[in-house]
Structure 1
Amino acid sequence: MAKMEKTDSEQLEIVISGAEEENGGTEALLPKRGAVSVVWRYFGFKKSDKDQQTIFCKICLAKVSATGGNTSNLRHHLRRRHVPEYEESMKLKGASSFTSQILVEISEGENEETDELVPKRGAHSVVWRYFGFKKSDYNQKNILCTICFTKVAAGGGNTSNLLHHLSRRHVSEYEQCIKLKFAPFGSAGGQQSLQDALARGAPYDRKSRRWIDITNAITLHLAKDMIALNTVEKEGFKQMVRTLDHSHCLQTSYFPDDHTGELLAAGLQEVLDSWGLPENKLVAITTDDGEDVKKAVEINKWAGLQCFGHKLHLAIEKGLSDERIQEAIGMCKKIVSTFSSSSKKRKDLAIVQNYLGLPNHVLTVETPTRWGSRQVMIQRVLEQERAISHVLKEDKKSRHLLPSWQDLEVLEAVNKALCPLQDFTDALSGEQYVGVSYLKPVLKLFNASILAEDENDPQLTKDVKRNVLADLNGKYSHPVVDDLLDMASLLDPRFRTKYTDEEKVERVLSRAVEEIVSLTKPQQDPLPGAAASGAESEPDPPPKPKRRKTLASFFKSQGGAVTEEESVREELTVYLQAADVDSDVNPFDWWRCRQTSFPRVAKLARRYLCIPATSAPSERAFSADGNLVPCHRAALKPDAVDRLVFLAQNL
């Protein structure tokens, strides 16, 4: 008997040693990515098996085949070879999903060193392929080696300690890393996978439904359109992944007639009719500053809200009408044009930038149709003024372009006044968040601090601020527009009546009550005669049977019934008394969670908070239209253009 036991032991040792040789040693196995079934806690993959194709048992290190993610063979292996583990897995399988998940997490926590590490977000150096972070380390502060799981310190994104760790502990990996570091782009091993590129670009968890959908969609795009796989490594692709969510463009219409106010008004009416949208549901229309469009809105008697970006841009233009400013800006344009047209000057500028320790930025050209591009041009010239002067001095033909100290003072005064305004224009041009309710608070902020005159400001800065502020206040002082902005701020839970003038609060609340009451009223039948004749033909309903009084009926209030207006007023009062909301909260999410508590007010909020603050979404649709119909595609039919723009904006 003892001899038989020894023989079995020897055979078991032979089997294990054979499995170890087949598996390349007793290295720790990695768990299956995205595994849900509890049976996977007993199986894993080699670290070198990046695609996780060959399955090994963690207990006996035997290779087990399981195609298509089927776990039947895995359970059969446990039942035949490891009975206690098989019984344990069946208990876990029969437990509730919540309990099972907790047990799996505890099991994974016991063997924390063998967990798969998450790569560093936004990493560019090849050395990061050997280091990672725990999934629980969301801020990615504790760096771990993927080979020995040792914690390595590397502050400020510096990779020197990481390379030192590889050279001291893992020589072969260090040599491979150095080869990859100095290899040309596209060499073997230098291209990251689609999964890794998406993990860097998208702020979603790898197991989330959204991350999976985006990965599948982009994979289909690369395969179907035969796009090079290294596209996923480029900065433009990463930016695209970050901005995959966008609004929808329903339709574009061919308008061959002259863009007069009368014809535009008729065209807008046709758009509402084609989509079956009743005119009484139109709260406001956001337009640019074109006179024809404003006239069309007046003809249709609609409430119009002019684009905040256009308004701010025109106010800045008027604020910079001073002759000294125009001369300084003209000089600025000549400098930028000189460097743009000379490759030698651009090279010299880069050399001087490195010598002076200035940022390696190119000079920016002003684009009249791009909001804020003038301020960006001025800011860049001031930033590179020392390097620009050094380059221009070396060329006799361009020395006359050297900016004088008077020009620099003017540009600094203008930049100080306009720099804070750029962020507001960009922020209010978004499509995925509420913009119209911000206008009233932004105007108040401009008056209180951003464009308020400071004692330390130069006189020219004060003049620019005063002119811009006066123009903006005048454009938004119209009673209809002012009421619209007050109502939008009231229905935004972040602001409510905080930025409404005290003497106007009661009037705004009364108007809100009136609109809510009108929304809750049942729709009137457009054909009262037909409704009356139909009512006469219907038989009278049978009388309701009498019910005996209950004990609770004696305690009901005997006062008059509460009117609809009083009920709405009470709901609006409770809404105004609700807890304060952080400024970063999305008002749509807030209303989605609380529309059952304030059902009437939520209907009004849905009407006002959808109004865009700028015409930027429409401008983007126009740009897409122009890109789709260049000169060599001018024969496209209007219907084809409509379909192409729809696909380009919505896919």
Structure 2
Amino acid sequence: MASASSGNVSKEKRQQSEQSNVRQTTIGEFSKRPITDHRKRKITGLLVNFIVKDIRPLATVSGDGFRDIIHFFKPGYVIPSHTTLWNTITHQYDELRAQLASDMKDQSVSLTTDLWTSPTMEPYITVTAHYLSATWEMKAKFLHTCLMPERHTAANIAQRLTDTIREWGVVFCVIHDNASSMNLAMTLCEDFSHDLGCTGHTLQLAIKAGLDLPEVAKAIDAARRVVSHFRHSAVATCALKKRQAQLNVKENRLQTDCPTRWNSTFTMLERLHEQHIPVQAVLEDETVTKSTKRKALSLRASQWELIQQLLPVLRPLAKATTIMCGEMHVGLSFIYPVILNMAEDGVLRVEESDVVAARNFKNAVRKQLKTRFKLDTEDDLAGSVPIMACILDPRFKDLHFLPEKTRVEVKSHLIQLLQDGEADQPAATGGAYDDAPTDINVDNNNGEEPGKKKTRLESDYEELFGPHYASKIVCQHLPRGGTRISPDDPHPHDEQPSGWWARNEKQFPRLAKLAKSYLAVRATSTPSERVFSLAGNTITRQRSSLHPAHVDALIFLNANQERRTRIINEEDFGESE
């Protein structure tokens, strides 16, 4: 038995020895393998990808620490020179530009543009293109971010914009901020059909007029002091958490605001109102808050009441701003249905229960909206880009938010556009008015069962659009033969008009062509402004050595990452090892 046992032990040792000989290759051994040309190209491609995706200056890969890491993993790999890396980036940049130019060819393109200054005080101009593809998908592509050291006069801005348009092709509309120099620059450009001031900026100015009223501003300043106290005091913050738990209130932190972004002020007030009771409890606790501090921080009862009355007004305004600023959905057609409903029948209507400061706020904002959006004058409203987007959006095609006289003018303008474009259309498909809508039936019952609970989205839309909004659209159309055709195609709340047009393009080809132009126009210049966070990350003081040409290329490749990935995948970076 002992001999058999010894034999088994010896056998196990041999098996263990054999298994140890087929162990996994270590990183050190793997790194010592000879590096192939294919592998070198792949590593170089990954380095370029690192620079582009993380937006790093080329000098990053020249640092001793970075070189040590590369040498550890691949001792035989030599990091290329800055010239080689930049040539690779430039190659991708040129290829992607060519592909985007091809994608946008024969499309109705609109631009958003804005001027901004980097943390290193270098002025830039950013331009973004927007269009609806052949399959009615909303596309947004960054075109360039260019240094603009010259004075930002209207003439210089116009020249920069003209250069961009002539480089990329015909542009339907340009969306810009409301600065006087930018407005004047638009009148000096002749390479686009329309221009539109940023709705986000316009709303900001209108709402700020109400927030700047003395009594409202005092309440906001008082709220800001309370929030600042809790944000800077660890003792107060800890006490607030305990009170939240005791009172069974959500343990949310108070939010600070940015004075240049009114919706952040709304967020601050909303959160403070939510935490009203635990906040007051902490401020009144003498073991946490000194009496002198408490007196300086306490809001008066009238100020709490004012905040409570402002929130139901600010909330839909914030929702409207969010919808209009959406980059990948149609927002332009929302402007007049939303603004008119709010100004006339919605949240800005004065109620008997309103305190004086709340009433003054509503009146001030309503007056600003009517002035800035020309609701009282109706001058050139019929042919404006937002109104034309409305009649081409099946959700608002009835135009019931407009006076009858204006509705007639809008439809006449649409028919004129169809006639003007008829020369470019094939001649074998009927008369000039085949596509012209003559009526809209609105089913306000929406086919709902009595008592059926509305979705949150439906409630939000009804709050924003009021009785003018219809969730079921019936398009009617009068061909030359006089036969009435009524395709009954419901348009649900959560469907974009581009989805409706994708299904009905063949039935209304001329209208579809116009819809692609008008519905692709952004309501705000936010898409260009979105580059602020990206560019701010790019042009920090630590990265101030970046050449302006590098800034343009890196942001262009990074922002159009999805399209760039196709280029990378098509390149041969080599075989696996």
Q: TM-score range by the shorter chain?
A: 0.5 to 0.7
1:19-30 counterparts in 2 under 5 A? none
Alpha-carbon shift at residue 578 of structure 1 (Å) = 4.2
Q: Are the counterparts in 1 of residues 215 and 357 from structure 2 also a CA contact under 8 Å? A: no
| Cα shift readout 1:450-496 (whole Å, capped 9, x = no counterpart) | 32223333333222122111211211116345532221111111211
Match of 1:402 in 2: 298
Alpha-carbon shift at residue 392 of structure 1 (Å) = 2.2
Match of 1:503 in 2: 405
CA distance in 2, matches of 1:570, 1:627: 49
Q: Are the counterparts in 2 of residues 324 and 410 from structure 1 also a CA contact under 8 Å? A: no
1:27-106 counterparts in 2 under 5 A? none
Match of 2:472 in 1: none
What amino acid maps onto 2:358 in structure 1? Answer: T
Q: Are the counterparts in 2 of residues 429 and 614 from structure 1 also a CA contact under 8 Å? A: yes
Deviation larger for 428-437 or 622-631? 622-631
1:114-193 counterparts in 2 under 5 A? none
1:383-422 counterparts in 2 under 5 A? 383-393=274-284, 394=286, 395-396=289-290, 397-400=292-295, 401-422=297-318
Alpha-carbon shift at residue 632 of structure 1 (Å) = 1.1
> 5+ unaligned residues in a row in structure 1: which ranges?
1-244, 524-560
Match of 2:494 in 1: 584
The alignment status of 1:474 with 2:371, answered yes or no, reads yes
The alignment status of 1:308 with 2:193, answered yes or no, reads no
CA distance in 1, matches of 2:495, 2:280: 47
Q: Are the counterparts in 1 of residues 382 and 413 from structure 2 also a CA contact under 8 Å? A: no
The alignment status of 1:247 with 2:144, answered yes or no, reads no
Aligned equivalent of 1:292, options 181, 190, 202:
181
Alpha-carbon shift at residue 347 of structure 1 (Å) = 0.9
Q: Are the counterparts in 1 of residues 422 and 432 from structure 2 also a CA contact under 8 Å? A: no
Q: Are the counterparts in 1 of residues 216 and 361 from structure 2 also a CA contact under 8 Å? A: no
Alpha-carbon shift at residue 306 of structure 1 (Å) = 1.9
> 5+ unaligned residues in a row in structure 2: which ranges?
1-137, 439-474, 479-484, 562-577
Task: Give the structure with the larger strand fraction.
Answer: 2
Match of 1:515 in 2: 417
CA distance in 2, matches of 1:598, 1:246: 22
CA distance in 2, matches of 1:306, 1:481: 14
Q: 1:264 to 1:591 in 2, by over 3 A?
A: same
Q: What is the aligned length?
A: 366
Q: 1:639 to 1:389 in 2, by over 3 A?
A: same
Match of 2:383 in 1: 483
CA distance in 2, matches of 1:436, 1:563: 31
Q: Are the counterparts in 1 of residues 178 and 202 from structure 2 also a CA contact under 8 Å? A: yes
Q: 1:367 to 1:246 in 2, by over 3 A?
A: farther
The alignment status of 1:428 with 2:324, answered yes or no, reads yes
Aligned equivalent of 2:165, options 272, 280, 293:
272
| Cα shift readout 1:514-554 (whole Å, capped 9, x = no counterpart) | 2223223249xxxxxxxxxxxxxxxxxxxxxxxxxxxxxxx
Alpha-carbon shift at residue 336 of structure 1 (Å) = 1.3
| Cα shift readout 1:414-472 (whole Å, capped 9, x = no counterpart) | 22332221111112111111111111211232122232223333333222122111211
Q: 1:570 to 1:619 in 2, by over 3 A?
A: closer
Q: 1:497 to 1:614 in 2, by over 3 A?
A: same
Alpha-carbon shift at residue 291 of structure 1 (Å) = 2.0
Q: 1:570 to 1:295 in 2, by over 3 A?
A: closer
CA distance in 2, matches of 1:486, 1:570: 15
CA distance in 2, matches of 1:402, 1:412: 16
Q: What is the SS of the residue equivalent to 1:418?
A: helix
1:327-342 counterparts in 2 under 5 A? 327-342=218-233
Q: Are the counterparts in 2 of residues 494 and 581 from structure 1 also a CA contact under 8 Å? A: yes
Q: 1:410 to 1:258 in 2, by over 3 A?
A: same
Q: Are the counterparts in 2 of residues 392 and 402 from structure 1 also a CA contact under 8 Å? A: yes
Deviation larger for 508-517 or 596-605? 508-517
Match of 1:623 in 2: 533
Alpha-carbon shift at residue 573 of structure 1 (Å) = 5.8
CA distance in 2, matches of 1:470, 1:261: 29
Q: What is the SS of the residue equivalent to 2:530?
A: helix
CA distance in 1, matches of 2:241, 2:358: 32
* Alignment root-mean-square deviation, CA: 2.6
The alignment status of 1:439 with 2:335, answered yes or no, reads yes
Structure of greater relative contact order (alpha carbons < 8 Å, 6+ residues apart):
2
Q: TM-score, normalised by structure 1?
A: 0.53
Match of 1:596 in 2: 506
Q: Are the counterparts in 2 of residues 308 and 613 from structure 1 also a CA contact under 8 Å? A: yes
Q: Are the counterparts in 1 of residues 241 and 251 from structure 2 also a CA contact under 8 Å? A: yes
Q: 1:331 to 1:323 in 2, by over 3 A?
A: same
CA distance in 1, matches of 2:331, 2:143: 20
Alpha-carbon shift at residue 262 of structure 1 (Å) = 1.6
Identity of aligned residues (%): 30
Q: Are the counterparts in 1 of residues 324 and 524 from structure 2 also a CA contact under 8 Å? A: yes
CA distance in 2, matches of 1:562, 1:353: 69
CA distance in 1, matches of 2:409, 2:476: 14
CA distance in 2, matches of 1:414, 1:570: 41
CA distance in 2, matches of 1:450, 1:399: 34
Aligned equivalent of 1:325, options 202, 212, 216:
216
Q: What is the SS of the residue equivalent to 1:249?
A: strand
Aligned equivalent of 2:521, options 611, 622, 626:
611
Q: What is the SS of the residue equivalent to 2:145?
A: coil
CA distance in 1, matches of 2:486, 2:350: 35
Q: What is the SS of the residue equivalent to 1:440?
A: helix
CA distance in 2, matches of 1:563, 1:332: 64
CA distance in 1, matches of 2:487, 2:335: 22
Q: TM-score, normalised by structure 2?
A: 0.59
CA distance in 2, matches of 1:594, 1:324: 52
Alpha-carbon shift at residue 371 of structure 1 (Å) = 4.0
CA distance in 2, matches of 1:562, 1:335: 68
